[in-house]
Structure formats: structure tokens, C-alpha cells
Amino acid sequence: MKRTLQELAAERGLAVVDRGNGHIQLTGGPLLVNYYPLSKRRSIYIAGTTRRYEHMTPEKAVAMCFDIPANRREFQAQRKKGYRPLRKKLIAKDPFCHWCRIGLTLDTSTADHVIPLYRGGLDNTNNIVLACEPCNNKRGHDMPELQEAIR
């Protein structure tokens, strides 16, 4: 018996949102997945990353909401130079470390990528948060917060 995407998603506590034109979003898990089941290649994109996964089944689409992106150098975005203006804007909005909530200044803050560039994350403002240097260094290329959300 073949199960539908909606049934599989409901089992894992995910919401299925139809965005039209064959675009389906799976939300409610640690990762937001954009799934195109009607396309020729049945592609999946994880929000905030650059990699496209092809020939995906509904089971794999649901599993992707909980999978940590693999370490793939060929999909790594190039790091920009000069995050100081962005850090100024982020400090004005919320002057605390995203991970440990310690107070930050412009000199004590670093720009941290939520989905690391090494794992296919994008180098844009939607993927950058303020972090203290110890938290940023501790995370490195890992995604421990995603591991905690899966447990």
C-alpha cells in the first residue's frame, strides 16, 4: 500500500503547504523543504541551501526535513567580505548572541551562518545571525541545534 505525502508528513508532525504550480512546502520540522513532485526530476531544495536533490519520493521528502545537509565542498557558497555593516543592523535589532543570549557589542559580535556555508548554506542576510565568538567557534561546520531538534 503506497502512502501519500500528507499521511507521511502527518506521522512526523509536519505540515504540507501547496504553493501552486506543483510546488509543495514541508514545514514544521527543523528544515523547510521545497518539493516539486510533479516536475520531471521530482526535485527537492532545502531552504537556505544551494543544493538540488533529484528523483525524490514522498518518503525521502519527509525524511529531508530532518536530515542534516552533507558536507559538500562543491556546493559551498563564497563568503563575503566585511560583515561590519550587517552586524551594526543586527545589533540595532537584537544585541544578543543568537545561541547563548549573552549581550553583544559591535566589537564582541561575529556573523554566524545558521546553515554553515560548508553544508551548502547561503551567504545572505536570511542565513546570518549574531553570535559571540565562543559560540561561533564551537559550532564550526556542525549543526548541533538541528541534532537537538531531531531528538
Q: Does some domain include residue 73?
A: no
Please check the confidence at residue 104 and state whether its pLDDT lies above 80: yes
Please check the confidence at residue 150 and state whether its pLDDT lies above 50: no
Whether residue 84 sits in one domain with residue 55 = no
CA–CA dist 147, 84 (Å, integer)? 30
Q: Which domain, by its residues, includes 95? A: 78-150
Q: Which residue has the higher pLDDT, 112 or 80?
A: 112
On whether the CB atoms of residues 12 and 65 are closer than 8 A, the answer is yes
Whether residue 94 sits in one domain with residue 140 = yes
Whether residue 122 sits in one domain with residue 101 = yes
How does pLDDT run across 17-59, given as a tens digit for each residue? 999 988 999 998 888 899 999 999 999 988 877 778 889 999 9
Whether residue 142 sits in one domain with residue 91 = yes
Q: Does some domain include residue 49?
A: yes
Mean pLDDT of the chain: 84
Please check the confidence at residue 7 and state whether its pLDDT lies above 50: yes
Would you call 29 exposed, middle or buried from its count of C-beta atoms within 10 A (0-12, 13-18, 19+)?
buried
Whether residue 84 sits in one domain with residue 60 = no
Q: Which residue has the higher pLDDT, 151 or 65?
A: 65
Whether residue 82 sits in one domain with residue 63 = no
Whether residue 84 sits in one domain with residue 139 = yes
Q: Does some domain include residue 83?
A: yes
Beta-bridge mates of residue 36 = 43
Q: Tell me the pairing of strands 109-113 and 52-53.
A: unpaired
What CATH number has the domain bearing residue 135? 1.10.30.50
CA–CA dist 105, 96 (Å, integer)? 9
Whether residue 142 sits in one domain with residue 87 = yes
pLDDT in the model for residue 147: 52
CA–CA dist 103, 87 (Å, integer)? 13
DSSP structure class, residue 74 = G
pTM of the model: 0.55
Least confident of 54-58, 61-65, 138-142: 138-142
Phi-psi domain of 21 (left: phi exceeds 0; alpha: psi -120 through 50; beta: other): left
Whether residue 131 sits in one domain with residue 83 = yes
Q: Does some domain include residue 72?
A: no
Share of the chain above pLDDT 90, in %: 44
Question: In the chain, how many domains are there?
Answer: 2
